[in-house]
Amino acid sequence: MTDTAVHAVHSPGAFPAHPLDPASAAEYLAGRAIMAAAGLLAEPVRFAYYGLEEPPKDQLLDTPQGQPDRRLRAFLIDLGTGESADVVVSLGRREVVSVHRLDPRTDGQLPIIETDFAVVEEVVRADPEWRAALARRGLTDVTKIRTCPITAGVFGVADDDRRRMVRVLAFVQAREHDLAWAHPVDGIAAYVDLVEKKVYKIVDEFELPVPQESGDYDDPAVHGPYRTTLRPIEITQPEGPSFTLEGNLLRWQDWSLRVGFDAREGLVLHQIGLCERPVIYRASIPEMVVPYGDPRFRYWQTYFDAGEFLLGKWANSLELGCDCLGEITYLDATVTGDSGQPRVIKNAICIHEEDFGVLWKHTDIFNGSVQTRRQRRLVVSFFATVGNYDYGFYWYFYLDGTIECEIKLTGVIFTAAYPGGDYPYSAEVAPGLGAPIHQHLFSARLDMMVDGLSNAVEEIDVAGLPAGPDNPYGNAMVQRVTRLTRESQGGRQADGSRGRTWRVISTERTNRFGRPTAYTLYPEHAPALLADPSGPLYRRAGFATNHLWVTRYNPAHRYPAGDFVNQHPGGAGIPAFIAGDADIDGTDIVLWHTFGPTHFPRPEDWPVMPVARCGFMLKPTGFFGRNPTLDIPPPTGHCSPG
């Protein structure tokens, strides 16, 4: 790559109309030209991240008609030396705004880049010690071995921690279309220095037979004859969908929001409002951590899919009729490759409207009224493939003011050899094939703005009261409301036994009962991070140790595990954000919500996993003065009255 290989486009019309619109291909090229002119892109420097540096919220809200400076942020890595920098450029001023040089041992390493995958396969296959270890297992044709690089974490081993490195597991792919995940070569890992481009250590701990049963679910011998009993389902909207999309501004019923996309976070939704009233300024899933629970050999196996691998960059191009049914509107996403050159992912974001069963219904025994209304939702989604897993990120907006985030987890579970017996840390999913237990812990960043910037959070538990003079028959139940006033108090656990929810209230606006308008976060009640507090993962994934955090808005606080997650020693992100213990009562606040399953795989999850779901809901709570959907007309057709 040379700096002249990619040319900037200087057409003013190529620049987005709104300050929160994602960076365009022309902008990436313009930013790249600014960095090249400043001497930041000398060969072999590559982009480990490149995206929009959003204007701070106050700057945007204070000048609603103005155009704040358009800025891009790039993480640059010199492949020859490992030197890493965090760079911000101004497109308007055509200059580099800041260059922050990282010390990767304390600041963390930049994310894995595409080039790293190719380097790993090449150097591992060429390594004599690794080849010898495989030969001892009877595997002599290294062209049939696939290598899976896994981010290294930090375990206090000096020779590992000083390097930019990955740990590499091996899988056998004997035929071109074999599913390699079905054939793990267990007990052997190559530790690869990505800068020196060499294997510096082989860990050869034990040998177990490579599982042999095919997992190739495309193979008729595996899936059997396709069933012929499914008749077509077709979804039609003869008058088209009920939403409009102007640029990135999406409007549907009383909802409005801006649809954005980022290489790291994927979908970013801005300025979510209902009935021209703000609800959330910005919503995204900026991190997820997938820790594995086998303490032997693979104790280091943990992925931070956003911070270490940039999950947005791996967004799929969606296909009508397969991924999405009905009247679909797609948006493309523009990300960049290692050289900073734009790459358009066609049809990355799917927008549609769908029927969602009954909204409300009643047959009145006194006045004879028989009424039903249909629920609908607006769906904004994308899918990303990160290694063996595929994740669908779905945001739903309902007629009754509910917002839902749902993650669909599918793809292929990570495998190991099953050691036999009742091995407690994995499940046998095929003969001799184990799937280690793991967690998928997502972090939603919800920059709340319920009826304005002045918000507060109340924790709501429900409780039955003990019998006593005021409760003689013991039937009393109440809500217990605890106001969270400081950041040190905002780290909270979900509690299904108390039906715990968190209510985000406006401290300025009230409803017709004189009570604060509010939106309530309904969490699931799955466990947070299970790793022991004494271990390194607990420090690195601090955000995942609680289901909720509340922080005061700070434009620099974007990523719950910190800006540079790869090989970061820990303590960054939320634990650092709350160190000042700011006041969070009646101010501009951000909710960070941890959710997701602890996955002990089932045989039915193999060889490809039916979608598992997780997520959360936000529901209006006194945001309206009554059911806001009474004006929804009855369905047309045979059930309409009269």
- Where does this chain bind Cu ion (CB under 5 A)? 599
State the nearest-atom distance from the C-beta of 305 to Cu ion, in Å.
Answer: 12
User: Cα–Cα distances in Å, from 366 out to 361, 456, 544, 625, 639?
Assistant: 15, 42, 52, 25, 20
Nearest residue (CB) to Cu ion, 359 versus 614 = 614
Q: Minimum Å distance from CB 592 to Cu ion?
A: 22
Tell me whether residue 269 or residue 609 sits nearer to Cu ion (CB atom).
609
- Picking from 419, 446, 399, the residue whose alpha carbon sits closest to that of residue 550 is 446
Answer for the pair 392, 315: CB distance below 8 angstroms, yes or no: no
Contact between 141 and 172 under an 8 Å Cβ cutoff? The reply is no
- Token pair 């039937």 is found at 475
Nearer to Cu ion, 154 or 433 (CB): 433
389 is catalytic: yes
* 3-state SS record for 203-261: EECCCCCCCCCCCCCCCHHHHCCCCCCCCCCCCCCCCCCCEEEECCEEEECCEEEEEEE
Instruction: Please report how close the Cβ of residue 169 comes to Cu ion at its closest, in angstroms.
Output: 17
Cβ-in-10-Å burial (0-12, 13-18, 19+) of 551 comes to buried
Q: Minimum distance between the CB of residue 425 and Cu ion, rounded to whole angstroms?
A: 14
Residue linked to tokens 């300024």 = 281
Which lies closer to Cu ion via its Cβ, residue 164 or residue 599? Answer: 599
* Among 50, 303, 389, 559, the one annotated catalytic: 389
- The arrangement of strands across the sheet holding 416-417 comes to 416-417, 433-436, 426-430
Residue 241, number of CB atoms within 10 A of its CB = 17
537 — phi, psi (to 5°)? -65, -35
Q: Which residue's beta carbon is nearest to the bound Cu ion?
A: 599
Q: At its nearest, how many Å lie between Cu ion and the CB of residue 599?
A: 3
Give the CA-trace dihedral at 133, 134, 138, 139, to 10 degrees.
-160
Identified catalytic residue from 305, 338, 390, 585: 305
Nearer to Cu ion, 287 or 458 (CB): 287
**Closer Cβ to Cu ion, 352 or 599, answer by number:** 599
Tokens of 486: 């400081």
CB 487 within 8 A of CB 551: yes
**Minimum CB–partner distance for residue 111 and Cu ion (Å):** 22
State yes or no: is 3 an active-site residue: no
Distance in Å, CB of 389 to Cu ion, minimum: 7
* Largest separation between any pair of C-alpha atoms in the chain: 85
Q: How far is CA 103 from the centre of its chain?
A: 27
Please name which of 119, 101, 98, 118 lies closest in space to residue 110, comparing C-alpha atoms. Answer: 101
Task: Catalogue the active-site residues.
Answer: 305, 389
